[in-house]
Structure formats: C-alpha cells, structure tokens
Structure 1
Amino acid sequence: MPDIEHLFAFALLALGFVLTPGPNMIYLVSRSISQGPMAGLVSLAGVALGFVVYMVCAAFGITALLMAVPYTYDALRVGGALYLLYLGWQALRPGGRSPFQVRSLPKDSARKLFAMGFLTNLLNPKIAVMYLSLLPQFIDPGRGEVLAQSLVLGSVQIAVSISVNALIALLAGSVATMLAGRPTWQLVQRWLMGTVLVGLAVKLAVDGRKS
C-alpha cells in the first residue's frame, strides 16, 4: 500500500488535473449548461467508466514495465514533469478560453450522453499521460505489490475526479452565468491552475534529482 504522504500528494495532483480545462471538463460543462445538470451527471458516468478502463490497463502495463525495466522511473518522471509544464503553459498563455462559455447544443439521449462521455475520456491524452507518466512516480516497489499500489492510486484519482466533476456538472449553469460578465475571474482561474501545475512540475523535477 502507498503511504499516506504519497496518497495525499497524488490526490493533490489528481485535483490539479481535474480542475485544469480539458476535453472531459469541456464536454461535461457544455452538456450541463445546454441540457441540464442531470445530463452532465449521465455524461460523467461514461467518463468514470473510461477512468476504470485506463486504471486497469495502466496498472497491469505499469507492473510489467517496472519489472522488466527498473530505470523507467527516471524517464517517466521527466516526461511527467514536462507534460505538467505544457499544461501549465496552456492555462497561462494569452487568449486562453474558459470552458464555461455558454453554447447552444442539440439535446442527446441518455445513452448517447453516456457513450460520448466514455469516448471523450478514452480519447483524452491528458488522462492517458497521467496514468502512464505520472502515476508510476508515486509507486514504491519496496512497499508491496506494484499492481495493488497502482489500483489504489487509480482509485484515488477516480474518486477525486468524479467528486469534482459532479460538483462542476451541478454548478456549471450558475458558474457560467457568473463568469459571463466577469472576465477577470476567468483570468484568475486560468492563472491559478497554471501556477499549480508549474509548481507540481518543479516538485517532480527536484524530487527526481534527489532520488
């Protein structure tokens, strides 16, 4: 089992990811605003299933990879830090777009909402990189079976993401209305998330030098 410090650090990383605008957030928010909070929650159920698929595949893949190539840790750490820097830049760069922009979309059935949420998550490169590059950095083979640690960490990420996304889906309409006339708040949102991601990237790079 991962220790409490690793679980907490990974939970913070998962929180930073879920709060960073990406395909999942944009899809959930757009559906919640155009079709109501329930549509957003149905879409979130599909997103959650995508997380489970990623978690299981990554857990077994990571187990085989680490047993075959122990030095993969360093490569994964560097790749993860670089990707966090990229996400931070996307949030901080001029002209960034808020996912809470109101758009008119046709209404979809519950089945289509679920399927689109699932496919949106499976095709989300941010989630793929998180599981393949960042999750292994929180695994310590000396603390037990790698597969079990991967599943525990993956479950933490899913719990954090579902909780935050559920709140986003329920509050999307109110947030969109509030931000519509407050461009300053949109700027603050982007800069806050970008700063968090850059800070996490620096921490990963520093920890890599110490190890």
Structure 2
Amino acid sequence: MPDLQHLLVFIAAGWLLNLTPGPDVLYIVTNSLRSGAKSGVVAGLGITAGCFVHVFAAALGVSALLATSATAFTVLKWAGAAYLLFMGVKLLFSRAPQAAADLQALARTKAPDTLRAVFMGGFWTNVLNPKVAIFFLAFVPQFIAPDTPDKALAFVLLGVLFNVNSVPVNSGWALAAAWMARRDAVQRGMHWLDRAAGAMFIAFGVKLALTENPSR
C-alpha cells in the first residue's frame, strides 16, 4: 500500500475523476431526472458494482503480468498510457455540456425503469466496457510501490477504496441533478472540471509510459 501522502493523492484523484462529467454521470443524471434522486442513487450503485468486477479481474491480470515477460508488461503499459492520453486530450478539447432543457428532454424520452433495471443497466454498462478495465490497469498500479510483496492484494485494496469513494460522489450527482439541470451557468462551469481532469489524465499517461517493468 502507498504511504499516507500518496494515499491522499490517490483519494483526491479518484474524487476528481468521479466528479468529471462523462457517460456514467450522464446515466446517473438522466435516471435521476426521469425517476427521482432514488433512481439516480441506484444507478450509481449499479455502476460501482460493475467497477468491482473489473477491479478483481484486473488484480488477477496484474499479478500474472508482473510474473511474465517484459513484452507483456510493455504491451499493457502502452495500451494503458495511450488510453489515458486519449481521454486527457478528449477532455481538454471537449465541448460545453448540453443546455439544461436538452438534458431534461433527453431524460423524459423514456418511461421510468424499475430500480432493478436501473441498477443492472449501470452494472452491465461498466462490466461490458473494456475501457473501464484498461483504466483500472493503467491508473491503480501507479500507486503501488515496486517493492510491495503482494501487488495483487494491494491492487484489490486500492480498487475497493476507489469504488467506495465513488459512492458519495455518484449519490451527490443524483441528488443535485435536478438542481443542476435548471442552471445552464453551473453546467458551463463544469466545463473547467473537464480541463483539470484532462490534464491529470495526460500526466498519468506520460508517467505510465515512462514506467519501467517493476519485476526487473
């Protein structure tokens, strides 16, 4: 596990990433607008549950990759770095969010779903998205010290911490969705959050690209 300073950086980075508007946030917001805050919270819990699948699957992959050839490590490293750089550039040059009226219209185009359907929708959206797995493989290992005796366990613990920390953020999006949707100025301000997260993605991508194989 990282020391306290790096752990706090990990938590802060996780919160910033979860605050950044994206597909998961849009899913939470639209469900909250359509069926109320309770539906939005359930949507967030479904997304978190899907992320847990990737955490445990990625932990097994990281453990195996660190015990194999440098070629496998390099392929994973560059795949993760490329994804982080892509996401960073995409966020830096993203357009301003849609107007509140457009979001409300989008949310009301479908009939309300049951809470189980909302939960499973968030769950499968993440489980079936390979980019989520690549993200955890690219992001979490940067906070695991090279001399950590059990890297797979450290990965799982950090992944669980990341997901647990996402619950209050996702719930906050659900509770604030209706208020945010009525205020275009607030949504335009969130555009700067995209810029900050984009810069952080790029920094992590560059750091990962320069990382040497810890098993050497």
- Give the TM-score normalised by structure 2: 0.81
Counterpart residue number, 2:211 = 208
What is the identity, as a one-letter code, of the residue corresponding to 2:201?
Answer: L
Separation in structure 1 between the aligned mates of residue 143 and residue 211 of structure 2, nearest angstrom: 12
Report the equivalent of 2:65.
Answer: 65
After TM superposition, the structure 1 stretch with the greater mean CA deviation from structure 2, 20-29 or 74-83, is: 74-83
- Give 1:194's aligned residue: 198
**Per-residue deviation, 1:189:** 3.5
- 1:53 Cα offset (Å): 1.1
Tell me the equivalent position of 2:166: 161
Say if 2:106 is the partner of 1:122: no
**Alpha-carbon shift at residue 19 of structure 1 (Å):** 2.5
CA distance in 2 between counterparts of 1:163 and 1:126 reads: 23
| TM-score, normalised relative to structure 1 | 0.82
Shift of 1:98: 5.0
**Cα distance in 2, alignment partners of residues 99 and 135 from structure 1:** 34
**1:23/1:123 CA distance change after superposition, 3 Å:** farther
Deviation string, structure 1 residues 41-77 (Cα, Å, up to 9, x no partner): 1112211211221111111121112112356555544
Cα–Cα, structure 1 residues 136 and 189, in superposed 2: closer, same or farther, change >3 Å?
Answer: closer
- The amino acid that maps onto 2:50 is G
Contact preservation (8 Å) 1:55, 1:151: yes
User: Who is 2:45 aligned against?
Assistant: 45
- Listed as ranges, the gaps of 5+ residues in structure 1 are none
User: Secondary structure at 1:142's aligned position in 2?
Assistant: coil
Letter in 2 for 1:113: V
Q: Give unmatched runs, 5+ long, in structure 2.
A: none
Root-mean-square deviation over aligned CA pairs: 2.7
Sequence identity, in percent? Answer: 32
Q: 1:170 to 1:125 in 2, by over 3 A?
A: farther
